[in-house]
Structure 1
Amino acid sequence: MRFVLLGGGVFAVSLFVVQGQAGVPSSLPLPVLITVAAVAGLAAWRVRWSWWELAAVGAIGYVWLAMWPPLLVASYHAGLTLSRRSGIAAYLGGCLGVCGAAAAVGVYEGGLREMMTATLSNAALTALATMVLPLALGLWVRARREVLEAAGERAERLEHEQVMRAEQARGQERARIAREMHDVVAHRVSLIVLHAGALEVRAADEETVQAAALIGGIGREALGNLREILGVLRSPVREVRPPPTLGDLDRLLDQSRALGIAVTRHDEGEARSLEATVERTVYRVVQEALTNVHKHAGNVGTDVRIRYGPGELEVEVRNDAPEAPRDELTGAGWGLVGLRERVELLGGTLRTNVRDDGGFLVNARIPA
């Protein structure tokens, strides 16, 4: 659109000049002047492809009719385009030649034309206003653009470097955490597995052998999960097994039953597949709740309820009161805090409280 406006403006001003209102009046008929001005406007419109066409039209128009608008626009675009000093010097030399030719034509025609183009002061002023200053303006605009582009590239490069440094720091921190987990947690779990295996071999009664085998199996599974986590920490692109979902819930309940807890599962509503993040969060809620039952209530009856609502999924784990007083669950550690963060990240709510009969309740509602 701006190029159309540029062409129309050059046409209008050129016609205004050659008719004598802002230049030397021409003796050519009006249709010829309109045609010449239209050619100048077309050349100005085509400057988006190449400015030399406009420069050629401007040179011819200035020598023939003292028509300066095309040459003014061409000089500006020459400043935007020419990058080498030799090119700029060549363009200025061409402008000087055009001024000399226009002065010669002015001397030949005489009168107002001679005064406008052949007088040294007027010719110098015209050349300065229509050729030199627009060229200098174009050079300044181009230099400013280059400075802004260089500043933008530098800012982008600094931002990229900052991201790379942050990623490097995260990688180093992941590696440190992985080392700590390997040296401390994995080592302790490995000892548990080894002692469970030794107990399984040396135990005399069948119940102890089964309990030791279950502890060893759970420990080996925990070691496998730890290795996957350590692999992710060391290399984020490493492929790991799919995270647990509701389909793995029965296996988790069977492990608790094998340890002596009477776990009962109740499903309410129409079961349906849900987003992986929702199912994984429900699995972790049940897992943490059963872990707390093991630690703080012992072998007591526990109910696990999964309710499929129209817009949410509710999971509830409630256990009976322990037979003997145990540690309060509220001081158990960071397990419930982590669960609350998991649930709230999905827009849900987590409620935990001691029941009137001494048992404990964990209830989570998650949008589904």
Structure 2
Amino acid sequence: MDRMLRPFGRAVTYTRWLHLFMAVVWPAMWWYVFDRPGAWFTAAALLACAGAVPALRTVEGLQARLLLLGQRHDSGHVDIVTAPSRTWGDRGRTVLWLETRLLVGCLVAFLTVQLPMLAVDLVRTAGGGGPDGATFLRVPGHHWWYALLAPLPLVLLAAVVTGSGSLVTAVARRLLGPSPAERVAALEERTERLLERTRIARELHDSIGHALTVAVVQAGAARASGDPAFTGRALEAIEETGRAALEDLERVLGVLRESERPVSARPTLSDAGQLLESARASGAKVDAELSGPLERVPGPLSREGYRILQESLTNVLRHAGAVPVRVRIDVTDGVLALEVRNALTAGLPGPGRGSGLRGVRERAALLGGRAWTGPDEGDWQVRVELPLG
């Protein structure tokens, strides 16, 4: 019993009922004022013409979301869309929805009026009175047991209210829902958001991880050296690296806070000198060779190349410490080649381990390139090749 009565405690049950009544009001007024039986056919024809207007899909979608689903704003739900019709297929589904809503609305409105009248007629005829002349289903005779049947029309009305609401909601999801093209577009948008979140997570990992690694290495070296001049240089390197990391953090947080905010410039391979100097200031002996027109490398490749170089140097400082490092960046034959090598030590991660190395491989794969990380001829190498095309 509780399960049967539960729908009547929900507001959406009555808003769905109201939604069906709204489809019938204007044709009923027209039929009542002009007393023309053809008013309903004229209403159906007008709805067919109105459904071809792209904006009507937005109006019907908003009504359906509010009254059928109980959503007062766009909550990211895609069961019912509120975008204008873009194709004739969308227009056809909108027309079919309008006609279906009119048909179901007429039936529900008729039963909503007639079933209570039938219940009253059963009680009246059971007491010897006559039925109402406006009742569609006449009750013959005068039998006392008609009073026992009086609740049945009301139970049927309750079933009509709940059943028609569920039916019209299912039809709305089908006819006012997203088309296959819109579903694909929504999936692509969701994928883009997920990729953007992954990219932001990698950016923060690389930038903040590099800054903390440099700070730890510099602080340890300064404490061990006991040289005031070296300590001053170490503090200066920590300050510069920390400031760059704060700028990266502020930029990323700005993008997260304001989706319409223009993205500030991100570092590219043209700024690789700052990374190399930071690594040298941390004690690493960096032998760098940069060849080719780095400034002509496309923006996305140049920015991702910078992050790959940053992560590679961070791994060296974190796991190997102040060791000789060979850096080669070459732009030739339509390929950006980047290689970082250093002496293999026990502290370096093994092949396939570490989120940083995984991020290097993911960056390369997303750009259509390849990445190799791991031991090579007694060295630890990170080698990446990215096609410029």
- Provide the TM-score with structure 2 as the length reference: 0.47
Higher helix share: 1
* Greater relative contact order (CA < 8 Å, ≥ 6 in sequence): 2
Over alpha carbons, which structure has the higher Rg? 1
- Provide the TM-score with structure 1 as the length reference: 0.49
